[in-house]
Amino acid sequence: MSDNTAVLEMRKVDKSFGPIDVLHSISLKVKEGEVLCLLGDNGAGKSTLIKTLSGVFQPTRGEMYMDGKPVNFTRPSDAQNAGIATVHQFGGTYPLMSVGRNFFVGQEPTKGYGPFKIYDREKANAIAVEAVQNFGITRITDGDRLVGGLSGGERQSLAIARAVHFGARVLILDEPTAALGVKQAAHVLRIVNEAKRRGLAVIFITHQVMHAMAVGDHFAVLIRGAIAADFRAGEKSREEIADLMAGGESMADLEANIEGYMEAHDGQPPEPAH
């Protein structure tokens, strides 16, 4: 594989649900050691797009490629086996299980033989704690700790470290920072940069422009299911990106309109349209 081949690529993918066309001719690619940020407002089609990349949905039209070869994922396990790991907003972790158990869920190390085989808790904990520590998650030191006691950022980070440990090549993060405070979001963004440094191809979905700008090499803006803009880091300012996401409307104009309205209406904001 040459360095220039995308790890994962979509070419002219459409996705419809019966008569409803949700994705329109989506073409995108992501390479090793690169973060592609997928930006879009609510309802733009971001989740549909990543579910198509991760085998939950099949494209209605168009093709997908890994390392330049056509792929056809008929179920999520096909995508997982190909090295595509998807981490959702809440990390996909099990709050009532320990860090060690969570890390190995489904692939636990065992000790003993045949009918005497048992889960090797010490080993699982040691590997899990070492892996998360290597990722810079220094607050997790006890593999027996329940995941429910971790912060949202730590859970996200644990899920990412886990995916990397088990050999993911493509990491898809669906709004990982949306529900987090500033410090925790910064922590998750550091982990994303670490995954990139280790050579993963990362697809980072967000509607927070600042978070995208902190990690992104490449950006695609999705509006009503189509890629409305596609650019590299440094090519657009924060304001330009925000305006693109708002569908070409200038956010500065929109804010000025709202201020004008509030001045004329005793400081009350406009009622929602519906």
In the complex, the smallest distance separating the C-beta of residue 225 from ligand ADP, rounded to whole angstroms, is 7
47 binds Mg ion (CB under 5 A): yes
Please report, as residue ranges, which positions from 1 to 30 form the binding site for ligand ADP (by CB under 6 A).
Answer: 17, 20, 22
247 binds ligand ADP (CB under 6 A): no
Closer to Mg ion by CB, 42 or 268: give it. 42
E strands in the chain: 8-17, 20-30, 34-39, 61-66, 69-71, 84-87, 110-111, 118-119, 170-174, 201-206, 218-223, 226-232
- Give the largest Cα separation in the chain, rounded: 78
47 binds ligand ADP (CB under 6 A): yes
86 binds Mg ion (CB under 5 A): no
48 binds Mg ion (CB under 5 A): no
In the complex, the smallest distance separating the C-beta of residue 175 from ligand ADP, rounded to whole angstroms, is 8
Closer to Mg ion by CB, 47 or 52: give it. 47
52 binds Mg ion (CB under 5 A): no
In the complex, the smallest distance separating the C-beta of residue 245 from ligand ADP, rounded to whole angstroms, is 11
Q: How do strand 226-232 and strand 218-223 relate by DSSP bridges?
A: antiparallel
How far is CA 58 from each of CA 15, 31, 68, 86, 87, rounded to the nearest angstrom? 8, 22, 19, 16, 19
Among 28, 40, 140, 145, binds ligand ADP (CB under 6 A): 40
Instruction: Give contact residues for ligand ADP (rule: CB under 6 A).
Output: 17, 20, 22, 40, 42-48
